[in-house]
Amino acid sequence: MSGGKLPLTRPSFDREERREIDLVLSSSWVTQGPETARFEALVAARQGVPHAIAMNSCTSALHLSMLALGIGPGDEVVVPAFTWVTSAYSAEYVGARAVFADVRKETFNLDPEAFEAAIGPATAAVVVVHLFGQSAEMEALLTIARKYGLRVVEDAACAIGSSHADVPVGGMGDTGCFSFHPRKIVTTGEGGVVTTRSSELARRIRSLGNHGMRGTPGPPAKTARPYEMGEWEELGFNLRMSDLQAALGVVQMKKLDALLEERLRCARRYDAMLAEVPGLQAPEVAPNCGHTYQSYVIRVVDGARTRRNEIMEFLAAEGIQTRPGTHAVPRLAYFARRGIRPEAFPAACDAEDRSITLPLFPGMTEADQERVIGALVRAMESSGAGRG
């Protein structure tokens, strides 16, 4: 092994984030305050929607989207079979059932034909995932959803700044759900946002995330009577984002364009270098589908899961961190107990078995990328994956 360890990713923080957090600490207003409102406004403006509601995670954003849309017991929700598990759990949280549809082998995103085939009499909604930062095929998917009268939740956890046909993601469906986990391009440590064009959905989601209280969260306005405590109409949750988290987000959102440009530059460099490595396939991007490369996920063309694992173990021994793309969700025990057959979703299973996420992070150098590709070449030769 040469050089230090190469992480899969790492956040980009500097003095600006520290200064913003110091200002929040000095103000003594550390939650439900002006920083959260600023962060929400920045996300809404970037994604081209009138409403953005900050909360503690994208999981919470998905959960509250389902509740606000009225999804519940007796309903089915179509979910891509290759995604992070919470895309499917969001339906289960509210008593509905996740029904899976396969993905396109080339892009890992929901296959429109498989989506339509999965629709049944009880289908009420679809979770459209913009996986790894690449927009799903929204025109085709929205046409099908409208045909059957389905609600559309965009799982844009990986896709801040992404777009489809120059339209930002997060505003094409009923809601958009974004993550600001440390693996994401913009991070608040942990955190999420729901975006929507609907004033009523925004009001309900904000209320549900603040214990079910009606009205604007935060300390009472100067004109409010000191004994008034708001209205409580339904069961709610405490899923709010703090101003400390939002302060990170405010600075990070201001850096978004520069972060995206850097990731695209690294992705193009990887593309060119991988073209010279037999047996490995760089990410494919569908027409009109923007890609922010939140994750740079390649595919091992030849060989089974064991060979992919050997390659990843080789890179780990070289000090290079990798991971599979994500889950083939029907394989997970929670869903397998229902008798769901993973083999019904061959593209999703193939994606889980053959995918490798390569390191991509702010400040990554050409030498870092050459080290990754060099290790991949040696790993392919060692495993035989590049032969014949």
Walk along the chain (388 residues) and give the pLDDT tens digit of each residue: 457 899 999 999 999 999 999 999 999 899 989 999 999 999 999 999 999 999 999 999 999 999 999 999 999 999 999 999 999 999 999 999 999 999 999 999 999 999 999 999 999 999 999 999 999 999 999 999 999 999 999 999 999 999 999 999 999 999 999 999 999 999 999 999 999 999 999 999 999 999 999 865 455 444 567 777 778 888 999 999 999 999 999 999 999 999 999 999 999 999 999 999 999 999 999 999 999 999 999 999 987 899 999 999 999 999 999 999 999 999 999 999 999 999 999 999 999 999 999 999 999 999 999 999 999 999 999 886 444 3
Whether 184 sits among the annotated catalytic residues: the reply is: yes
CATH of 15-254, one of 3.40.605.10, 3.40.640.10, 3.30.540.10, 3.40.630.30: 3.40.640.10
Same fold, 15-254 and 256-383: no
Residue of 184, 222, 254, 255 marked active site: 184
Query: CATH assignment of 256-383?
Result: 3.90.1150.10
List the domain boundaries for the chain: 15-254, 256-383
Number of neighbouring beta carbons within 10 Å of residue 336: 13
φ and ψ of 36, to 5 deg: -60, -45
